[in-house]
A and B are shown apart, each in its own frame.
Chain A
Amino acid sequence: MDQIFTAAFLVPLFAAGVRMGAPLVFGSVGDVLSEKTGVMNIALEGEMLIAALLSFMAAYSSGSLLAGVLVGGFAGLVSALVIAFWGISRRQDQSVVGIMFNIFALGFTNFLYRATFGVRTDRAGVEILATIKIPVLSDIPYIGEIFFQHNILVYLAFIGAVAVWFVMKYTKFGLQVTAAGENPKAAAAAGVNVVRLRYTGYMFSGFMAGIGGAFLSLGNVGTFTENMTSGRGFICLAITILSRWNPLFAVIAAFLFGTVEALQLRLQAMGADLPYQFFVALPYIVTLISLVIFGRNIRAPKDLGNVYNKESR
């Protein structure tokens, strides 16, 4: 225990928590906006996974990490567009469509990766995104190392969250988003195009998930491994609920979950006296317990998950 409560342990731990939380920020902040319009992005997991692979393939073949990240975002966006066609335009059950997309993504990435790279032990790899030290701020003791010595996507995750928060709170668009998620019929009566708004929200969520997926392959390890999202998409959905649909709270929750992940890796490496399976399961256990403890009596957007039917007024 003495080993844990030292700056030498805690500062790198929190820094890693911020880094590992960043993909969760992308996933959950996008989902917050989407859920505010009334559509839950159950397919987050699949979108992230597909983006993780395609961004890696793009970076690997072009040699450009920027191209990789952009392809990741685009892959997420296109995935979301396809799902939105089923869930919004064709008014199919959003959870069924999302679950099916996740199954599709698991098979598709596995199939595509093996067909492209074959089954071999030496994994193809790329450089990971470079660390950018923010001048001045990164020199602050402790705080600098925790928050200001990361790759570009970590900063973008934070900026993105603040931007979404601002848009939701202070713009007319934000007001329309809330209206579409609370009472789409009233919103439509007031001249809001609910379908277009839900498409926008959902595709934004897909784009963000795509960047989050690109972060997993290009920001952390520089390679793709099968099913590398391993449930992060579902953790993002839980974060959305825990944040009470507030992007800023989502950032805090994501960084906490990132820290849990970083902690379990460190405890494993330290050879703590518990079986490693406990540590691997820890992030999921923590998510489950926080959902129960902090997730009760939270009021979701009223029309969340419902099919919007323009014709049936």
Chain B
Amino acid sequence: MKAIDSMRSGALLRRVGIVLLSVLAALALGAVFLIILDVNPFTAYYYLLVRPFSSLNSIGEMTIKMVPILIVGIGVSFTFQTKLSNLGGEGQICLGAIGMTLVGTSSFAQAVGGWYIPVGMLVAALFGACWAGIAGFFKTRFKASEIITTLLLNYIAVQLLSWCVYYPLRDTAGNIPQSAPVAATLPRLIDGNRMNLGLVIALVCVLVYWVVMKRTKFGYRLRVLGGSIKAATFGGISKKKYYLIVMLISGAFAGLAGSIELAGTQTRLLEGLAGSYGFDGVVASLLGMMNPLGVLLSSVLLGALSIGAETMQVRTGVSSLFLNVLEALIVLFILLGFSFFGSGSRRKSKKEKEGE
């Protein structure tokens, strides 16, 4: 992830400026697409950008979308720190959701009620970690590109989830391929609003990420491994071990996100549960430049846009996946902006060369 190096250099004001300009440029280009297809961009952008913030209710909906993006984004950030890419968020979310369903629909959960949730989350994190661990193991043992393997694993996980809801976990009471509802859902934070405990957990994840990266030896080593800290001594750090650990951590976060989506929002396992959270997390991490606060703010933005995109689709007929277009354009413009205006982009590339 060499690109990110140049994104992290330079004065804060300049960085924020580049990001804001990139967002504007992406919206402008998006508007051109909309106009060509005969859609009024102002109407579309009103539903996309303004409506999500118009009521407490929609802010609650926004947090529901934001939470999985944020947690996946934090997990992905761990891998980006070491210049590894975990693009398997979607698959790991699926596995986490499957784990949560197994616990949440068991007789154990029936007996203890809401207390199954921490156990379920642990199992979900474990499932997600194992799924990402496959890619991590292949990377460290066979040098298989984690970019390709994590993507391939997504397709397999989606089918695995589909199989689960069609066969072993299917709710025989109905005709729809979905699991039985979990014994209890995540507690809500405010009465009459769908905002739930997942939000608190997500914020704790951000805090954990911040503490680990800034305050622990482990985090320091990850940053050394990724080359964002110049370290005289590289000795003592086994690259392979850290690559594997970082993939496991990242998978655990995505699995946790899956469990929250399941127990907080969907309440049943069903196809398409992972949505686009996997790649949204990647975008959130890049957009936030792997900075804890940055990832948090990006996730808020993406969560709001996701809600807005759904409203936009209903009201204007523009596909909600138009959001993908905007997300990708924003990140691409940011990269472009930093390549032109990021201070020290040349200095960095020189340093990089010396390091190799």
Contact = CB atoms under 8 A, between A and B. Distances in A.
Contacts of B353: 309, 312
Given A91-B349, A101-B328, A284 B155 contact: yes
Given A234-B151, A277-B162, A104 B142 contact: no
A235 B128 CA distance: 23
A312 B350 contact: yes
Contacts of A42: 147
Interface in B41-72: none
Nearest to A118: B317
Nearest to A227: B321
Given A91-B349, A114-B317, A277 B163 contact: yes
A311 to B, nearest CB: 7
A99 B154 CA distance: 14
B73 to A, nearest CB: 14
Interface stretch (A17-25, A51-59, A141-149, A291-299): A291-299
Contact of A115 (B2, B37, B327, B328): B37
A248 interface: no
Contacts of B317: 114-115
Interface stretch (B110-118, B215-223, B242-250, B279-287): B279-287
B331 interface: yes
A86 B318 contact: no
B144 to A, nearest CB: 5
A99 B324 contact: no
B152 interface: yes
A284 B156 contact: yes
- For the residues of B in contact with A, the DSSP-based class is helix
B335 A90 contact: yes
B324 A288 contact: no
A197 interface: no
Contacts of A230: 155
Contacts of B315: none
A231 B152 contact: yes
Contacts of B102: none
Nearest to B325: A107
Interface in A190-215: none
Given A307-B2, A307-B349, A103 B283 contact: yes
A95 B85 CA distance: 9
Contacts, number: 154
A103 B324 contact: yes
Contacts of B166: 275, 277
A111 interface: yes
Interface in B1-56: 1-4, 33, 37-39
Contacts of A110: 319, 321-322, 324
B319 A114 contact: yes
B339 interface: yes
B286 A292 contact: no
Contact of B159 (A277, A296, A307): A277
B155 A93 contact: no
Nearest to A231: B155
Interface in B272-291: 279, 282-283, 286
A161 to B, nearest CB: 21
B339 A107 contact: no
A272 interface: no
B167 A296 contact: no
B328 A100 contact: yes
B319 A115 contact: yes
B224 interface: no
B2 A103 contact: no
B87 interface: yes
A92 B3 contact: yes
A109 B8 CA distance: 32
Contacts of B225: none
A288 B155 CA distance: 11
B148 interface: yes
B98 interface: no
A175 interface: no
B38, B283, B324, B331, most chain A CB atoms within 10 A: B324
B149 A291 contact: yes
B145 interface: yes
Contacts of B324: 103-104, 106-108, 110
B201 interface: no
Given A230-B155, A237-B148, A291-B149, A96 B3 contact: yes
Nearest to B134: A288
Contacts of A285: 156
Contacts of A90: 335-336, 339-340
B332 A108 contact: no
B346 interface: yes
B349 A234 contact: no
A4 interface: no
Given A115-B319, A241-B145, A281-B155, A93 B160 contact: no
B138 interface: yes
B350 A92 contact: no
Interface in B105-154: 138, 142-145, 147-149, 151-154
5 contacts: A104-B328, A106-B321, A110-B319, A295-B144, A296-B144
Closest 10 CB pairs of A and B: A107-B324, A93-B3, A104-B328, A281-B159, A277-B163, A110-B321, A90-B339, A277-B159, A107-B325, A115-B37
Interface of B: 1-4, 33, 37-39, 85, 87, 138, 142-145, 147-149, 151-156, 159-160, 162-163, 166-167, 279, 282-283, 286, 317-319, 321-329, 331-332, 335-336, 339-340, 346, 349-350, 353
Given A106-B321, A111-B37, A296-B142, 13 more contacts: A42-B147, A97-B335, A107-B324, A107-B325, A111-B322, A231-B151, A234-B152, A281-B155, A281-B159, A288-B153, A291-B144, A309-B349, A312-B349
